[in-house]
Structure 1
Amino acid sequence: MDETLRKQIDAWTETDEHGRIVDMLGQISPEERDSEATGLLARAYNNLGEYEKALELLDSIEEEEAGDTNWNFRKGYALYFLDRYKEALACFKKADELTPEDEDTIEFIRSCNSHLPFRKRVKDFWKWFTDNEEELSRIVENRGQLDGGDAVEFVTAGTNLIDEDVHFNLGGDYEFTFSVEGNTHLFYLYPYIVSQMPAQFKDKWHFFPFNQGTDASFSFGMYGANVDMAQVQVSAAYQEDINAFNIHFYEEQLCSLEEAQSYNAYYIMMEIMLGEGLSYQYIASVERADAPLENMIKLPELRAYITDTLKAHGKEIFDNPQQVYTSYRFEPQENEELRFDVMAGSSCFQPLVANYYNGSTELFDRLNGFGAQAVFIAFPYENKEKGDGKKVLDFRYELEDRLAAELLEPEGLGLLLGGAIGTGTCYIDLLLFDESAFMEKIVPFLKDYPQYHFYLSDFRQGSDLCRLYETEDDESEE
């Protein structure tokens, strides 16, 4: 493209004179217009809200430009505003792959995912399962006789309706087990999928939200080593102050592997034996031993040892992280971001809280990738007199109970993750499975508490605040 023309187009773009760009580039015949000019014309149509025209132009140069960041972004943009969110998401993901960390691209990815809510994805999965249950039964009943790759591909077509990163195992007796594989956020998503299983399958199929563990010994092969589980020796030192165990392991073949391979193989073996939930909840650290240690036990005995030790110390045993709330305390800080005034809180998802304060969006984005939104409700309170803190804390507990019992649980809208109290603001932490449906219900719900002004924020720094209350001006406009 002529450099002078390009500069003029850029100038018109800066001043929002997109119609002039259309007039200029529209005079060039499609045969004479190169792919760059066609892409800029499509951008102008996007900026004018004529998304169908933009899409048609972009499709005409797909062969030349499909590997270009701008082409993918522009096509995603057009599809997004045509409410074709799944197609738009694929384009924005490709743009992000080509040019990582672009803020606009990331925001569109997040928005696309929020328009493809987890609750809807789960409904789609169970519809697929219902439609294909006969074939799924045949796969289970003929395990070992059918091509394993074909069976996995067939089931993956269903789980992809939730997300492409869903992993699973099909077992005998109609067992379907989702696999967390070290991805913490999945502990807060998979149980909901299982809870939504249609009633007609509950007497036949056995769904598990994560690997449940086993006491049986068997051979395990990885990185060229073939290890009998019963030959792996472990010691487990209980630390009551953190209610968790420090593990040492030894097995000659396993410990002869490169360090990273050795640890990776052991973690997989341990999670198979303990179950992913128990392993996540109660294993504080793992160290490889150079030789057998005193009082080591066989790996298949570790599960019973851990549960017996916990019971002996009067501890209740949980294998679902959603069930365990941990308290935390902070020293309030001066900061423009919310939550830095927090004095104390509790959460069943501490890594998400830690991500927030570290400025990380890793867990937020992983949840968002499944169409689930980590958010918190914030509401300022008067903290002038003695007793104000206790008063608002009691109110927060009451509100949390109502939110869980009346909104989140009955309609499958999400989870209550915890809450916190700051020097002048209270916070209620939520994981929403359908943000749009939640927003329709939360404002009328909060009308019962006119003494407070409520706001909603994504569980990440720098997020915009959404007002969750109506003012007199709002009401007068109706």
Structure 2
Amino acid sequence: MVDQPNVAKHTFKEGVTEFWDWYEQVAQRFYETIESGQCESLTNETVDFMEIHLPAMSWVFGPGENGGHSFTLSGEGVLPKQLLAQYWQSRAKEIPGWTFYGSRQSCSVDDLKSMAIAVTDQEQVDSETFLIQTDVDDEEQLIDIVAWHPALAIVPQEHHYQILFLLLDEALGEFGTQNWLGEIKIQPIDEGVETRPLVQLPEFIEQVNRYHKWEKLPPLETFTLYRIEEQREGPRGDTIVGTSVIPNVIGKYIHHQGKLPEDPLEGTGARLAYLSIDGDVFPEGQQSDVRGNIEDALDEALEKEQSGRTLGGAFGTEMAYIDLLLVDGDNSADIVRQTLKRIQLDGKSNLHYFA
């Protein structure tokens, strides 16, 4: 049994295929246009294409490797959409002069020094006067920060974090902010021990990482352990414990009894899904191994057809669950069904969509 998905104009996989076919054709012209200083003239053409084929995703041109240029696709900090950007990058073609990124990259120190955000006609916030107080949490392998710039005193408080995160993403890159920073506060601080301008934060993080020898996976490969202390009514309400790349989505889904407040992949042509599997499939003492084998079979089948990936799973009092990212609509669902049939689970499992 499969919950029926909403009809989309095209799947994300189809959009990605169209993108790479298109970019092969325009890459040389785009390169020459950017070299001539006319990058802005490419905006309308690129917007028109992206709105049709890869809607709801952000993009930007920038510097590439070895003096070339780059095209970056970004999920703008929304983890499920960042997974889509990673998928897009994984299918990148080799195009001379171009580098393709699946997340916003950190800028150079010189570019960071020259960056400023105007908050009034006379005042601006820049990385050399934005103070960052750091506190290293070795147990969590994160750095907590307190940030302050005098100009924030005249800026409405609701804009403070927006300004800070714009500069942090430029300094550390889209994943760097998520990967290295823990608790983030904005409040007045004084210069002193463990305080430095934001422009020096990347170098400080590098020093901390070398000293502590942290071994960290990128966010899209990090499986977070979560526990549900109190079971409840509704889909996945029997969940006890799980590991997932998208734990926040699962938490919201269970809390709202199977109705996400918003679909994080709306309009993309991709969907977040999960399998519910009868608990009697899993022999006592072998639950994790058996679920791992099922996940491996699904992963292999989906990746072979470039149609999705597994994102983790969970155990409940009655059922077990496996989280999925499906990027090719009904084709992805068919691959899941065929895999379940092959491993004799077609009558003991159901496919559901988060939204």
Aligned-partner Cα distance in 1 for 2:154–2:230: 48
Q: Among residues 43, 59, 62, which one is paired with 1:152 in the alignment? A: 43
Aligned-partner Cα distance in 2 for 1:286–1:443: 43
In structure 1, the residue matched to 2:188 is: 290
In structure 1, the residue matched to 2:103 is: 210
In structure 2, the residue matched to 1:275 is: 173
Which digits, 9 at most, give the CA deviation of each residue in 1:435-470, with x for residues without a partner? 31123223332233336612101125xxxxxxxxxx
> How far off its partner does 1:375 sit?
0.5
Output aligned runs, 1:425-464, within 5 Å.
Answer: 425-450=319-344, 453-459=348-354
Q: TM-score, normalised by structure 1?
A: 0.66
The amino acid of 1:122's aligned partner reads: V
Percent of paired sites with the same residue: 22
* Residue 309 (str. 1) matches residue 208 (str. 2): yes
* Residue 398 (str. 1) matches residue 332 (str. 2): no
Aligned-partner Cα distance in 2 for 1:185–1:450: 30
Aligned-partner Cα distance in 2 for 1:215–1:362: 38
Aligned-partner Cα distance in 2 for 1:420–1:262: 37
In structure 2, the residue matched to 1:371 is: 269
In structure 2, the residue matched to 1:331 is: 229
Q: Among residues 77, 90, 93, which one is paired with 1:182 in the alignment? A: 77
* Bigger relative CO (Cα 8 Å, ≥ 6 apart): 2
Which digits, 9 at most, give the CA deviation of each residue in 1:52-103, with x for residues without a partner? xxxxxxxxxxxxxxxxxxxxxxxxxxxxxxxxxxxxxxxxxxxxxxxxxxxx
3-state SS of paired residue (2:265) = helix
- Larger fraction in helix: 1
Aligned-partner Cα distance in 2 for 1:366–1:338: 18
Indicate if the aligned counterparts of 1:375 and 1:430 stay in contact, CA closer than 8 A.
yes
Aligned-partner Cα distance in 2 for 1:205–1:286: 35
Aligned-partner Cα distance in 2 for 1:353–1:312: 35
> How far off its partner does 1:334 sit?
4.6
CA gap 1:294/1:316 in 2 versus in 1, 3 angstroms: same
The amino acid of 2:328's aligned partner reads: D
CA gap 1:369/1:361 in 2 versus in 1, 3 angstroms: farther
Aligned-partner Cα distance in 2 for 1:158–1:391: 49
Aligned-partner Cα distance in 2 for 1:179–1:381: 38
> How far off its partner does 1:218 sit?
1.7
Gaps of 5+ in 1: 1-106, 461-478
State the structure with more CA Rg.
Answer: 1
CA gap 1:326/1:357 in 2 versus in 1, 3 angstroms: same
Indicate if the aligned counterparts of 1:125 and 1:161 stay in contact, CA closer than 8 A.
no
Q: Among residues 230, 248, 254, which one is paired with 1:351 in the alignment? A: 248
- Larger fraction in strand: 2
Q: TM-score, normalised by structure 2?
A: 0.87
Indicate if the aligned counterparts of 2:221 and 2:245 stay in contact, CA closer than 8 A.
yes
Q: Among residues 317, 323, 330, which one is paired with 1:423 in the alignment? A: 317
Q: Among residues 39, 44, 59, which one is paired with 1:168 in the alignment? A: 59
Gaps of 5+ in 2: none
The amino acid of 1:167's aligned partner reads: S
Q: Among residues 156, 159, 171, which one is paired with 1:258 in the alignment? A: 156
CA gap 1:140/1:242 in 2 versus in 1, 3 angstroms: same
3-state SS of paired residue (1:367) = coil
> How far off its partner does 1:147 sit?
6.8
CA gap 1:362/1:274 in 2 versus in 1, 3 angstroms: farther
* Residue 195 (str. 1) matches residue 90 (str. 2): yes
3-state SS of paired residue (2:32) = helix
Which digits, 9 at most, give the CA deviation of each residue in 1:336-382, with x for residues without a partner? x232212211011122112212325245x231320111000111022
In structure 1, the residue matched to 2:127 is: 229
3-state SS of paired residue (1:182) = coil
Aligned-partner Cα distance in 2 for 1:391–1:436: 32
Output aligned runs, 1:131-142, within 5 Å.
Answer: 131-142=25-36
Q: Among residues 125, 132, 135, which one is paired with 2:19 in the alignment? A: 125
Which digits, 9 at most, give the CA deviation of each residue in 1:259-297, with x for residues without a partner? 222321111001110111111233233222324242211
> How far off its partner does 1:197 sit?
1.6
> How far off its partner does 1:395 sit?
0.8
Aligned-partner Cα distance in 2 for 1:424–1:447: 21
Aligned-partner Cα distance in 2 for 1:180–1:327: 23
> How far off its partner does 1:228 sit?
3.4
Aligned-partner Cα distance in 2 for 1:291–1:334: 44
Aligned-partner Cα distance in 2 for 1:272–1:402: 39
Aligned-partner Cα distance in 2 for 1:433–1:170: 25
Indicate if the aligned counterparts of 2:302 and 2:336 stay in contact, CA closer than 8 A.
no
Q: Once structures 1 and 2 are overlaid, which stretch shifts more, 419-428 or 283-292? A: 283-292
CA gap 1:446/1:147 in 2 versus in 1, 3 angstroms: closer
Aligned-partner Cα distance in 1 for 2:72–2:39: 20
3-state SS of paired residue (1:248) = strand
> How far off its partner does 1:162 sit?
3.3
Aligned-partner Cα distance in 2 for 1:154–1:312: 47
Aligned-partner Cα distance in 1 for 2:318–2:264: 31
> How far off its partner does 1:190 sit?
0.6
The amino acid of 1:136's aligned partner reads: F
Aligned-partner Cα distance in 2 for 1:166–1:442: 26
Aligned-partner Cα distance in 1 for 2:322–2:238: 14
The amino acid of 1:182's aligned partner reads: G
CA gap 1:311/1:455 in 2 versus in 1, 3 angstroms: farther
Equivalenced residue count is 340
Aligned-partner Cα distance in 2 for 1:372–1:429: 14
